[in-house]
Amino acid sequence: MTPDKTFEVKFRRRREQKTDYRKRLGLVRSNKPRIVVRKTNKRIIAQAIMFDPKGDNTLASADSNELEKFGFYGTNNTPSAYLTGYLLGKKLASKSKEGILDMGRKKASKGNVIFAALKGVADSGIAIPYSAEVVPSEDRINGKVIDEYIKKLGDKAKITFSYYEKKGIKLGELNKAFEKAKAEIAKVK
């Protein structure tokens, strides 16, 4: 390396490819709470975060594990993502009436569970811009597709979806459990 050249070390989160600072700056400048949705191997986590120079403030948070209180077994599938977003929106409603989606460094793909959570937040009454084209179909959101798959599997479904039965949801009735949980979450203030 020649003496007149300098090497600039990037921020740690940029080097680890966790944060796109240019994209984050645009979201922060909107002065709206960022709706951050993350999918892990076992759950969906959604948070409403407001920027503060001293450190971000979390206005509201929802986790798919919380759905058990409403009679639904929350994992990381599309119905769980929608209900988690819906719960976040209900919790956020008293603090803010609008938001903007922050996907982080995740690529946007049509029908992604992150967009199911976004639809849940929007259906709860929070004004958030999105295109209806990217949202999963209504049958995927309310669990009808999973119910059809369970019927198609037959006896194998008892092994594959045993965790639903353990939580009190009959196989093939995920849609009913979804609708019941959505009605219970609608009562949250």
Q: Model pTM?
A: 0.89
Neighbours of 138 (CB within 10 A): 10
164: buried, middle or exposed (CB in 10 Å: 19+, 13-18, 0-12)?
buried
Q: What is the pLDDT along the chain (189 residues), one digit of tens a residue?
A: 566 678 888 888 888 888 788 888 888 888 999 999 999 999 999 999 999 989 889 999 999 999 999 999 988 999 999 999 999 999 999 999 999 999 887 788 899 999 999 999 999 999 999 999 999 999 999 999 999 999 999 889 888 888 888 888 888 899 999 999 999 999 987
Please name the helix (run of DSSP H) or strand (run of DSSP E) that holds residue 176, with its range, or none.
helix 174-186
Q: What structural domains and CATH numbers belong to the chain? A: 17-186 (3.30.420.100)
CA atoms of 115 and 135, how far apart (whole Å) = 5
Sheet holding 44-50, edge to edge: 57-63, 44-50, 34-39, 100-102
Position of tokens 């390396």?
1
